[in-house]
Amino acid sequence: MEAQTIKNSNSTTKTTERISGSEAIVKCLIEEGADIIYGYPGGAIMPVYDELYKYQGKIHHVLTRHEQGATHSAQGYARISGKVGVAIATSGPGATNLITGIADAQIDSTPMVCITGQVPSHLLGSDAFQETDIVGISTPVTKWNCQVTKASQIPEAIAKAFYIAKSGRPGPVLVDITKDAQFEEFDFSYEKCTGVRSYNPVPKTEIASVEAAAKLINEAKKPLVVWGQGVILSEAEEQLKAVIEKAGIPAAWTILGASAIPTSHPLNVGMVGMHGNYAPNILTNECDTLIAIGMRFDDRVTGSLDTYAKQAKVIHFEIDPAEVDKNVKTDVAVLGDAKASLEALLPMINKNTHTEWRQKFTDLYNIEYEKVIKNDLYPTKEGITMAEVLKEINIQSKGEAAIVSDVGQHQMIACRYAEFNKSKSNITSGGLGTMGFGLPAAIGAKMAAPEREVVSISGDGGYQMTIQELGTIFQQRAAVKVVVLNNDFLGMVRQWQQLFFDKRYASTEMTNPNFVAIAEGYYIKAKKVTKREELAEAVKEMMESKEAYFLEVCVEKEDNVFPMIPSGASVSDIRLE
């Protein structure tokens, strides 16, 4: 390949080199800082894999055992690093297998770029072998997508993909590239994208709206902050902490917002939502000012909208204008990046303590502790509880571990009882609720942050949806700590069947395999715990291991997660038993 220098129309000099489209794809990824990518080869993407072979040492490709695993690994990588995750797959079933992870990333605002191979352009629309309209299929679940049929289109498409994925409210982007475009040669040069016409990723913050928000906060007698993942995505953790400390405002979080402020912070009053803490849920309907920061009023947070915070003035700090007034009517909307908005707000708010109001949270916490938390953490019954396992992990990790949870009862227990001292420590599937997320996402998280302890928490159901990714852990020597809380049930569904379907456990009891033998089959050290007296030592051994470790803990079969807001009920109807 021979480099040449040309001048463009505005007289700036640009160096090009004659290369193939497939090599251009790899070079674009390197230019965007994609040091680790996840994928699975196949015919329509083979030219790119041939180039990846040549560029070993500059970009590390991780062979997952399923394309869905590639997307979840890319999500875990993105969530803990703050960078764009990358997944790559072939056409047809390879591409369609990405869709679950793409949809998960879309609803959870995770920056991800997916690159798929496609049949040659002259075969498009002919129902060729392994042809699917992945652009049409993925349109509803991507922030942006496109199809490339010429090699010369590749640099601009990939640059635009990375810019759109990361800017503003992040999300997944898909670029579909035909096989002939991968083979075709062209004069390559690369320029990062810094803007797209008509796309305004960060709306300008109007100072008048910040002033209006400050006025309501200063007048409030019973204010409550509810923050979401937007705080983490905008790296506004310190700004949020400064605001609530100055104004003395109790602050609660959505599951994706967890870890932005340490669990032990005196103003951190716990999780809102269906299985959240008693105090913030009850007092949502008693506060006079509700300050929502970087969250979208999801139905699992609000319960019945007809009764949600009707007594309160609502302030919404939000980067995406589409979320404002979508579910909850706001009195003041502050559009813009959360970090910049909170920095503008801080000098405008008065110092306060709200001592009597905060005492209500303490009083309600004490009720929840006596009825729920104490029984979860220090049970008197024979069987092990899920919360006990989290307690031991907290002890061994000192709250420094990143917890990557799957979806189900164990997920709610992990969010409720894990201790977080660092931001970006709670990685889970929120909006889509994807069973099978945990194991592959933990791989991506560990590879992005090898210096951190990464613990995957799964139930026996979700774990088996992506259990094959143990092969990825083994091949990559990724020191993930894998915990399966085994109750031989699809636990969350079983809980609903018990409470709302007269204990008709239809298709939720599981006959499980020998999980330890499977892990050992992948040459991963493994242990099974069935008795409480074995638990502490087993968790200690797992956390001290320098390599991957699998721990199965057999827990109570019919334990339920409380508190609980029944589906469609008011947050005031939260049940403690």
CA 278 vs CA 317, 321, 373, 565: distances in Å: 24, 31, 11, 10
Do the bridges between strand 112-118 and strand 172-178 make them parallel or antiparallel, or are there none, so unpaired? Answer: parallel
Calpha distance 398→28 (Å, rounded):
40
Nearest to 95 by CA among 42, 161, 22, 59: 42
Calpha distance 318→340 (Å, rounded):
11
| Degrees, nearest 5: CA angle 574-230-341 | 115
As a three-state string, the secondary structure of 303-367 is ECHHHCCCCCEEEEEECCHHHCCCCCCCCEEEECCHHHHHHHHHHHCCCCCCHHHHHHHHHHHHH
DSSP structure class, residue 140: G
Calpha distance 105→70 (Å, rounded):
12
Calpha distance 270→257 (Å, rounded):
11
Residue with tokens 């993942």: 229
Exposure of 256 in the CB half-sphere (CA atoms within 13 A): 27
Calpha distance 453→426 (Å, rounded):
12
Three-class SS state of 268: strand
Q: Are 257 and 236 in contact (CB under 8 A)?
A: no
Residues with catalytic function? 67, 129-130, 179, 492
Beta bridge partners of 403: 426, 455
Peptide bond into 566 cis (omega under 30): no
- For the chain, the C-alpha Rg in angstroms (whole number) is 25
Q: Are 177 and 88 in contact (CB under 8 A)?
A: no
